[in-house]
Amino acid sequence: MSQRPQALFAMTAENVPQVFPPEVLARLRESVDIDPALVARDFADPGVREALARTEILVTGWGCPRLDEAVLDAAPRLRAVLHSAGSVKSFATPGIWRRGIAVSSAAAANALPVAEYTLAMILLAGKDVLLARDRMRATRTSSGWGVVPGIGNYGRRVGVVGASRIGRRVLELLRPFDLRPALTDPYVDEEEAAALGVPLLPLDDLLRTSGIVTVHAPETPETHHMIGRRELALMPDGAVLINTARGALVDHDALVAELRAGRLTAILDVTDPEPLPADSPLYDLPGAFVTPHLAGSQGNELARLGLTVAEEAERLLAGGKLAYAVDLAALERAA
């Protein structure tokens, strides 16, 4: 009889082989007894219900059903929920923590490609690459070599909104460059900002002084439309807004007005609504560069999420602490 604890996948079935390719699945199965062919998409399913009664570790992912009290009652042996994606808000309930069940998330792993995307866009935006490409495409001409005033990545202020995992990683990635990052975050004090190596500014001051502003705050009632008409008006002419967080953090009607005026440029990997309706002006406005929510883990990057879960399972079974434990108290202001 296997001594490995019973585990169960709970996510959209097609994500299992992408997040847990053969080499990652093999490593996970060194720690737990898990069947990749049995994936819980509905906890009411009789076969899933039977497996749930034996499950000690639930390996969750995108599409995981809600873990309400009835589900938790049906899983009396459950001791850990290891999430192979970012936020657990869509399915986790306070009852998990009340029962002493450990919760872990691969949010830190998912933050890496988002920060890399952001860095790439900051550097491209600083050189006006995106708009220059559009101008060349429209005119079919090139001015040839020559100095272009007003562009460049030497000494440009980059304002980071939110010291989330992604925001902090962006600050790390910016260190080798001659840019001047600054941070705004109501939960960070001067001492912590100094440890991150950046000045801490109120949001208004950051917007007024930044040539590029990148948004990495969580979506909460307090952050809804935190970048609205008034805030956008504070940004200097020619500034660039990057949003890889959540679309609702930015007032899109106000943003469209600024883009139509040609005053600002926006790089949006998330929108409100998402996906955009076919008639959205953001598809056609020259100052808008919109990508389909691809900054997060995609393709071969998904295996990093699965590996994070496999490593967490190893720590758990060795009696150690989870490296990426999710604290219920911090969940309310997390992404």
Among 157, 246, 252, 304, the active-site one is 246
Among 30, 69, 172, 274, the active-site one is 274
Residue whose entry in the numeric block shows the structure tokens 């009340």 = 98
Q: Could you please report the per-residue DSSP string of 166-188?
A: HHHHHHHHHTTSS-EEEEE-TT-
User: Cα separation of 162 and 128, whole Å?
Assistant: 24
User: Cα separation of 8 and 36, whole Å?
Assistant: 8
Tell me if residue 293 is catalytic: yes
Tell me if residue 274 is catalytic: yes
Among 224, 225, 263, 293, the active-site one is 293
**Chain centre to alpha carbon of residue 8:** 25
The residues pairing with 141 across neighbouring beta strands, listed in sequence order, are: none
What is the edge-to-edge ordering of all strands in the sheet holding 102-105? Answer: 39-40, 7-10, 57-60, 80-83, 102-105
**Is 224 exposed, middle or buried, given 0-12, 13-18 or 19+ CB atoms closer than 10 A?**
middle
Q: Give the pair of three-digit tokens for residue 328.
A: 């219920």
Residue whose entry in the numeric block shows the structure tokens 């100052």 = 287
User: Cα separation of 11 and 254, whole Å?
Assistant: 37
Report the candidate in 214, 254, 9 with the shortest Cα–Cα distance to residue 123: 214
Q: Sign of dihedral through CA atoms 251, 188, 193, 244?
A: negative
Tell me which residues are annotated as active site: 246, 274, 293
